[in-house]
Structure 1
């Protein structure tokens, strides 16, 4: 979307201002984390940023980090995926912007699920999901781009959420994900007919 191009332009201007400064690679790392990756955070907390824009911003970051100036070619010694890993597992701790965007939108959905006294909840509840919770809400034609973005955040929560069995009265053992494991949280065995009722 052209509406978000201002983010890339702001980042490019910042990087151009720093390009002439004599910074070590560690200095460039600090500037990238403190400034460049922080610029789109507010917007990413409200809207799903196009993947193409995320890749463009990451391309600017990679060039700056490896010391590339203008059309000059520099070797990128490590894949970007390795640099986005935590420092605890030998990465550099840079943010994967698309995943960071998803996590910020999931946070908004989480607020709509739990903070039921906030004005944010009251406005969105009345407008977009008056008869259900955010987890059952669906996209509507009247929904704004912000609402569709929050629904994408809801999908992130649904992928990682697990039912808490409790007393077992409201859970559907074969339909709801409740098994605490990394992959499928659904029961893998066949459903017996007499238990289906």
Structure 2
């Protein structure tokens, strides 16, 4: 599983190659031994589920590839003055910023891969509010919650466009009257929970699914796995477990048990 990691961090592997790597992993785990075929106790999709969801934690090669590329996109977003970032900007998006850059008519394999990682990264990007002047109130993610990172609806026409328009700069707090006028109560509650700094700080991008605000391959991969799982449940009409948190804790306790690895695997 470690051999293709370097290539996956730079290029988007073809789906057929990802399936071939998965086939090699399956053959090692479920393949024959001494001419006798091993028993496939559960599906390979279950084996690739995270350990806290009842799986073995094997990587989905295609999703892990996208997670690696998202990390590269994060570096470009956070370090626009780096040499590689400036070369890509001069070549592919000289008149716009990285998040809005088009793929172009003749993209290289590297730029095509980074663009796909960037599009996946957008699922968890969020603006950390400073002055609010650099954040669009309706078209950018800035609400710290898991299901929807931007306002759900606007109550009136011709609303203010910038987050700073809803901040009382003299008091460094949210304007309750303006929030109630333009946002639904569900959004108002979340907005009022966002702390504001008394110092003049610019808004910046952060990663919502990590407490440090930094995108890691692990957090990105976990988001992609959960998104895929929810999509498959929705397509097949399956409902989510009523106590998913409790179920995850139970699996974590199982893997933390002080027994031999083969007992862990069997359970």
TM-score in terms of structure 2 length:
0.54
C-alpha distance after superposition, 1:137-174 (max 9, x if no partner): 11112321211111001011111111223322232222
Name the structure 1 match of 2:110. Answer: 146
* Cα gap change, 1:119 to 1:196, in 2 (>3 Å): closer
Name structure 2 gaps, 5 residues minimum: 162-267
Say whether 1:165 aligns with 2:129. yes
* Cα gap change, 1:69 to 1:138, in 2 (>3 Å): farther
Q: Which structure ranks higher in relative contact order (CA pairs < 8 Å, sequence separation ≥ 6)?
A: 2
| C-alpha distance in 1 between matches for 2:129 and 2:87 | 32
| C-alpha distance in 1 between matches for 2:34 and 2:75 | 43
Segment of structure 1 superposing worse, 153-162 or 187-196: 187-196
Q: CA deviation at 1:196?
A: 5.0
| C-alpha distance in 2 between matches for 1:155 and 1:70 | 46
C-alpha distance after superposition, 1:35-73 (max 9, x if no partner): xx1111111111111223212221221121124359964
| C-alpha distance in 1 between matches for 2:46 and 2:160 | 47
Say whether 1:108 aligns with 2:75. no
| C-alpha distance in 1 between matches for 2:158 and 2:110 | 45
RMSD: 2.4
Q: Secondary structure of 1:163's match?
A: strand
Aligned ranges 1:59-78 → 2 under 5 Å:
59-68=23-32, 73-78=37-42
Q: Secondary structure of 2:127's match?
A: coil
Name the structure 2 match of 1:178. Answer: 142
Is the 1:103–1:153 Cα contact (8 Å) retained in structure 2? yes
Is the 1:162–1:178 Cα contact (8 Å) retained in structure 2? yes
| C-alpha distance in 1 between matches for 2:35 and 2:22 | 17
Is the 1:109–1:154 Cα contact (8 Å) retained in structure 2? yes
C-alpha distance after superposition, 1:98-134 (max 9, x if no partner): 1110011111111211223433223222212223332
Name the structure 2 match of 1:33. Answer: none
The match for 1:192 among 138, 146, 156 is: 156
| C-alpha distance in 2 between matches for 1:39 and 1:75 | 27
Is the 1:46–1:146 Cα contact (8 Å) retained in structure 2? yes
Give the count of matched residue pairs. 161
| C-alpha distance in 2 between matches for 1:71 and 1:56 | 22
Name structure 1 gaps, 5 residues minimum: 1-36
